[in-house]
Amino acid sequence: MRYAMAVDTKKCVGCSDCVVACQTENKVPIGYCRDWIVEVTDGTYPQLEIEIRSERCNHCDNSPCVRCCPTGASHYADGGVVLVTHEACIGCGACIASCPYDARYPHPDGYVDKCTFCLENRVQKGLNPACVSVCPTKCLYFGDLDDPNSPVSLVLKKRKWKTLIPEAGTDPQLYFLV
């Protein structure tokens, strides 16, 4: 099993619903976020192009954060989802420095926090992650890459995609449809 997410940049309008939905679902404190929106505009008026991406932890197959964690708090859970065990995290910040996507942050309670793909609170109960189920443009696809009929497998088969800084060697599992 390999959970992954695909983001359709052609449909995403950057409304940030994924961000609020994650905050309320996961009780992320106000002022922090586990996912965010990046908007890239290229060109000169009126020859312009825009790409909007809903970003979050890439749940890399070769995660620098898991590698550098001194206590094993950061670990691979079901389906390759990278999780942090709060009670094992000493808050040293190494994983935060190690993430080329800046996807982690120090939670005010001390431990390091990040996107969980809503693994325990939703996915293992048969639901989609909060961001996926709320997205008004349905631009987020989630599922198991090992299942050829999962929404994410199907859309990745059909569409052109890219990942973010694959050259960082992290083998990211967040795909962007372009």
Residues 39-68 that bind another protein (CB under 8 A): 39-46, 48-50, 52, 64, 67-68
d(CA 86, CA 88): 5
d(CA 100, CA 51): 20
Near another protein in 147-176, by CB under 8 A: 164-165, 167-169
Exactly one of 4, 6, 7, 33 binds another protein (CB under 8 A); that residue is: 33
Interacting span for another protein (CB under 8 A) from 38-46, 115-123, 142-150? 38-46
Near another protein in 103-142, by CB under 8 A: 104-106, 108-112, 133-139
Q: Smallest Cα–Cα separation from 35: which of 109, 139, 125, 127?
A: 139
Closest CB to another protein among 124 and 138? 138
Size of the site for another protein (CB under 8 A): 76
Tell me 166's DSSP state: G
d(CA 72, CA 57): 18
What are the tokens at 10? 């052609």
Closest CB to another protein among 77 and 96? 96
